[in-house]
């Protein structure tokens, strides 16, 4: 079974400044249809949520967050929404950013915990259990660079459901980029996870068809 993306988040660093009532109202009106104010997770910030499309935009005094749940990410839509916020706030089209993608992969009728114990650790499962009483699984973190991004990729069992492997891809860049480039890069990271990294996960966990 292929990777299923559950959540994608893009965080733009930006000199937003204080959010008074007029600025809040202007952002809400720019996003308009479908987005409604919600209680913000950060004091003195603005949170707008679209329940139908499962998207959220959160604006603080120094960041703009875009969150979306589900497997159907569209970079062009994200770019369009963030551009409306940028225009209201009179910001330059240059942002450093952080991106996070959370995904799951079916363990194919095996226990995800046992699968990671057997395949991801340099020690045997027996030796691991000698050292770690109550062992629940093994996780792996890989750090690497995809210019201009510093990335890390995490693989571990999903503890809430042993039928799934939990995957997390983080990418961060201090290089300022346009919203169009941010959109293109987000699309590329989604493809990187679904294509390149899924092959790596299959190989690490001995889940390729020829090894079944």
Predicted local confidence at residue 209, as pLDDT: 46
pLDDT band at 211 (very low <50, low <70, confident <90, very high): very low
What Rg value do the Cα atoms of the chain yield, rounded? Answer: 20
Domain that holds residue 37: 4-211
**Angle at CA of residue 168, ends 107 and 133, nearest 5°:** 65
Q: What local confidence, expressed as pLDDT, does residue 1 receive?
A: 57
Confidence of residue 42 (pLDDT cuts 50, 70, 90): confident
Q: What is the pTM of this model?
A: 0.92
Ranges of H-type helices in 53-210: 75-89, 112-119, 125-131, 179-191, 198-204
∠ CA 144-97-158 to the nearest 5 degrees? 60
**Overall average pLDDT of the 102-107 stretch:** 95
Mean pLDDT of 157-171: 94
Q: How many domains does the chain contain in total?
A: 1
Q: What would the mean pLDDT of 69-86 be, rounded to a whole number?
A: 95
Number of residues in the chain: 212
**φ, ψ at 103 (rounded to 5°):** -145, 165
Confidence at 140, pLDDT banded by 50, 70, 90: very high
pLDDT per position as a tens digit, 189-209 = 999 999 999 999 999 988 754
């Amino acid at each position: 079974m292929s990777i299923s993306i559950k959540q994608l988040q893009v965080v733009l660093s930006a000199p937003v400044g204080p959010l008074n009532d007029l600025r809040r109202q202007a952002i809400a009106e720019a996003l308009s249809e479908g987005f409604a104010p919600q209680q913000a997770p950060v004091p003195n910030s603005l949170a707008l949520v679209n329940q139908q499309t499962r998207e959220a935009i959160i604006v603080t005094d120094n960041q703009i967050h875009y969150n979306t749940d589900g497997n159907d990410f569209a970079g062009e839509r994200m770019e369009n929404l963030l551009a409306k916020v940028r225009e209201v706030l009179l910001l330059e089209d240059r942002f450093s950013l952080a991106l996070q993608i959370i995904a799951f992969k079916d363990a194919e009728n095996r226990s995800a915990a046992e699968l990671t114990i057997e395949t991801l650790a340099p020690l045997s499962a027996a030796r691991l259990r000698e050292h770690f009483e109550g062992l629940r699984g093994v996780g792996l973190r890989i750090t690497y660079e995809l210019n201009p991004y510093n990335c890390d990729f995490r693989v571990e069992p999903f503890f809430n459901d042993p039928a799934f492997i939990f995957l997390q891809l983080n990418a961060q860049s201090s290089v300022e980029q346009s919203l169009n480039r941010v959109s293109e890069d987000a699309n590329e990271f989604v493809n990187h996870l679904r294509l390149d990294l899924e092959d790596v996960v299959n190989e690490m966990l001995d889940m390729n068809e020829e090894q079944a």
